[in-house]
A and B are shown apart, each in its own frame.
Chain A
Amino acid sequence: MTVSVSAAPPRLVMRGIVKRFPGCLANDGIDLVVEAGQCHALLGENGAGKSTLVKIASGVLSADAGEIFWEGAPAAIGSPAAARALGIGMVFQHFSLFESMTVAENVALGTGDPSPLPALAARIAEVSARYGLALDPQRRIADLSVGERQRVEIVRALLQDPKLLIMDEPTSVLTPQEAQSLFGVLRRLVAEGRSILYISHKLAEIRILCTAATVLRGGRVAGTCDPREETAASLGRMMIGADFAPPARAAAAPAPGEPRLVVDRLSMAPEMPFAPALDAVSLAVHPGEIFGIAGVAGNGQAELLRALSGESLAAVAEAVRIDGVAVGHLGPRRRRACGMGFVPEERLGRGAVPDMSLADNTLLSASRSEGMLSRGLIRFARARQFAETVIGTFHVAAAGPDAAARSLSGGNLQKFIVGREILQKPRLLIVGQPTWGVDAGAAAAIHRDLIALAQEGAAVLVVSQDLDELFSICDRIAVMCQGRLSAARPVRATTVEEVGMLMGGVFHLDGTAEGPGHAPAP
């Protein structure tokens, strides 16, 4: 490991941490050492136990067994307040801001600082100026972009002058440019002698940012290393436990011809209080093509997906057309009858009913196309049979068609849902976040399946926040920002940087000046 500059004890030592959840051993004797002034990466796939370990370190969960030392002395971190008192700050990625409250109120809640709000606002202004994290204390969280929300979290943590800052997947919601500026802030914090525990599964950013890494796999430590001396491949091998080849997209130009899906100046008012409105979104997807939509979460992708699936109906029927047929006024079941398949963003709770069996879950989308109904009654044998076929064809690890959806791992459930749609032979498949929170093996399988479906002549539209994913499987990419969609570009004629600029709302790079394409893309 790195040579300690002084004889100072490590800032945080966790030894033999065990945490068990019903049916799952999340942490199985994990050791972790974070030195003072070190940016330490905690690396691992989804489900490797990173979040659990970090929640134990920040007092949100308590370990079943194991020891924790803080600056050399044994420490019991029984609550988040105790962690704060030690000097552990946490920047969560989910579940930690109060939407309807102001920045100042959120900071007040997060710091346990009883000073009145105006005084707090002054301190917020001071800290945000010092680190270049611009924030208006009076604004409501709901009105902030995802990047700004993260700033609130960081400022909230910094106000307590933490000695260790824990960051959970901080760049997953940022544009590449925003991520770069975050790295600048983090380097300053390390220069001030603070330690950072940086959780990620993005190998590239760890290699440029961190000086030490602990790699987790299946709830155990798979190894420790200095990421600067590793390659992305060697880190990936430690993380996954096997060599792993990214899927290769055969360079097949889509056959010219009539587009299968046309979205034509689709506008839609938001359904939820704080959501963005869709503003004249236009696009066209051809048979045999995979069309990607990139963008930072919360810019209208969820609204677009609902408008495409038929859960929200368009004001103008012609705004959405499948094979030339106007379907904007049709609900999900009628659109499925037109040959559309749909994989929603949330797999558990939208794509599947958690407490129902896999067989019953096939009825959600396949009841008509697979002949599971007869005079209003359900033919359960058909549903079971179809579920079995999906499980077998797509190698879903499940106890069988009677297993409850919630009993499957994220990756297996996603394989099941994608398989459920693909086996219905859709002419058009719309997929939201196909591999979000899915392990690498399942992600690769899902990518292969999507590519195969396109090669058989279906049109595929993928909405994802993961640029690597979009660049590896798509033919063309458009970017969504604040409810508007940029013109689509062929993947081979664009770069991550260019797409990143578009994600940040810069729509005028290459002379397509009028902004998001108002006419269907070529």
Chain B
Amino acid sequence: MPLRLEARAEPSRAMVFAAPVIAIAATLCLGGILFAALGFDPFTALAAFFIEPVSTVYGLSELLLKATPLALIGVGLALGFRGNVWNIGAEGQLIIGAVAGGGMALALYDVSGLWVMPCVLAAGVAGGAAYAAVPALLRTRFHANEILTSLMLNYVATLFLGWLVHGPWRSPEGYNFPESRMFTDSALLPLLVEGTRLHVGVLFAPLAAFATWVIVSRSFLGFQIKVIGMTPAAGSFAGFGPRRVIWFTLMFGGGLAGLAGAMEVAGPIGQLVPIVSPGYGYTAIIAAFLGRLHPFGILLSSLLLALIYLGGDAAQIALAVPFAVTQVFQGMVLFFLLAADVLIRYRVRFDAPRSVAS
């Protein structure tokens, strides 16, 4: 093997921060090559993808709008990943959060007041957390793998939402389109900047990141999550309950995903429709890893991934490439990051491995 890994005596602190940068740079390079292969000038194409979408105030507001659900979900998932709880069901938790929030908005259709919108958001949190409680229960009670159960529930949630908007919650004024009524103004999140879709919910992302940072870095609970994630036997020795960690991280992540879902329908969408998320629940997994599972890192990585969403939209229009290029770029970032992460623990050598004389 020409490539050889040599273990470092100590994990490299510098590489912890450098790896995401390397991954992003590599993604840009490969993306440029990809665009060139498709017959575009790579620099104009990359500019159309990564710069033009955010060259206006409206573009920037859209960036924040898309980064918000990613960050909310990402910080929640990252807490679980630290504790070896692999919640892949954020997409479903987001959808159920949207359903619960939307249901609340529809139930309060005839009332108005300042308290309606908080009720909608609270219902979203509760819905997402309740949905995440299913894999938590199945894992703690029956040892069922939460990766698979939470993922299966994503499909179930999508179908459930589909049934609601095709059936009982379909708008009576909607010409048979599969959508609910538009929510009233009381249920909607107030706009932060007029002329954009940016709403006050965007402030929840840094708040959630800060709260998660306190949990991770300062609280004993966060310490327990880390210990159980790194070395389960040491957690057992210390008497930290793995069940508590599973329950807390799943409910926490589910609640934040549910909040994100409620904010989507009570924000930019304004009603329940069959598709309420362009895969935020999956992309947030990438955001979590790219942000080094650190809450503030995830704020930054969410911005980047939101930019890739906007870039995908822009590229679809400007370059006529399919929107799926978004997922290709997102997948590439994660791949390069995982590859670059090896540099934290190892030095890569390209020389011949053996030098033993005999």
Contacts and interface: CB of A to CB of B under 8 A. Distances in A.
Interface of A: 21-23, 62-68, 74-76, 78, 309-311, 331-336, 342, 344, 346, 349-356, 360, 363-365, 367, 373, 376-378, 404, 407
A346 B356 contact: no
Contacts of B233: 346, 349-350
A329 to B, nearest CB: 13
B237 A351 contact: yes
A22 B226 CA distance: 26
Interface in B48-79: none
A22 B7 contact: yes
Contact of A353 (B9, B10, B231): B231
Contacts of A310: 239
Nearest to A21: B7
Contacts, number: 92
A70 B241 CA distance: 55
Contacts of A378: 218-220, 223
B234 A64 contact: no
Contacts of B238: 332-333, 363-365
Contacts of A331: 239, 241
Interface residues of B, number: 29
A74 B358 contact: yes
Contacts of A311: 236-237, 239
A411 B227 CA distance: 23
Given A367-B220, A378-B218, A378-B220, A65 B357 contact: yes
Chain B contact residues, majority secondary structure: mixed
A397 B52 CA distance: 57
Interface in B3-41: 6-11
B134 interface: no
A373 B220 contact: yes
A353 B357 contact: no
B231 A354 contact: yes
Nearest to B11: A355
B323 to A, nearest CB: 40
Contacts of A22: 6-9
A404 B241 CA distance: 24
B237 A364 contact: yes
B227 A62 contact: no
6 contacts: A332-B238, A349-B233, A364-B238, A367-B220, A377-B219, A377-B220
Contact of A67 (B6, B10, B11, B357): B357
A272 B219 CA distance: 33
Nearest to A61: B356
A377 B221 CA distance: 8
B355 A64 contact: yes
Contacts of B234: 349-353, 364
Contact of B220 (A336, A352, A376): A376
Nearest to B228: A353
Given A64-B355, A331-B241, A376 B221 contact: yes
B237 A332 contact: yes
Contacts of B236: 311, 332, 350
A365 B10 CA distance: 25
Contacts of B147: none
Contacts of A335: 239
A74 B358 CA distance: 6
B218 A64 contact: no
Closest 4 CB pairs of A and B: A332-B239, A23-B9, A333-B239, A76-B358
B11 to A, nearest CB: 8
A342 B353 CA distance: 44
B354 interface: yes
Contacts of A344: 237
A22 B214 CA distance: 35
Contacts of A334: 239
A378 B218 CA distance: 6
A356 B11 CA distance: 12
B10 A404 contact: yes
B237 A342 contact: yes
A54 to B, nearest CB: 16
A112 B234 CA distance: 39
B230 interface: yes
A151 B188 CA distance: 75
Given A350-B236, A378-B223, 9 more contacts: A62-B356, A68-B358, A311-B237, A333-B239, A349-B233, A350-B237, A351-B234, A356-B227, A377-B219
Nearest to B218: A377
Contacts of A23: 9
A64 B354 CA distance: 7
A311 B10 CA distance: 31
A64 B356 contact: yes
A356 B237 contact: no
Contact of B230 (A63, A356, A377): A356
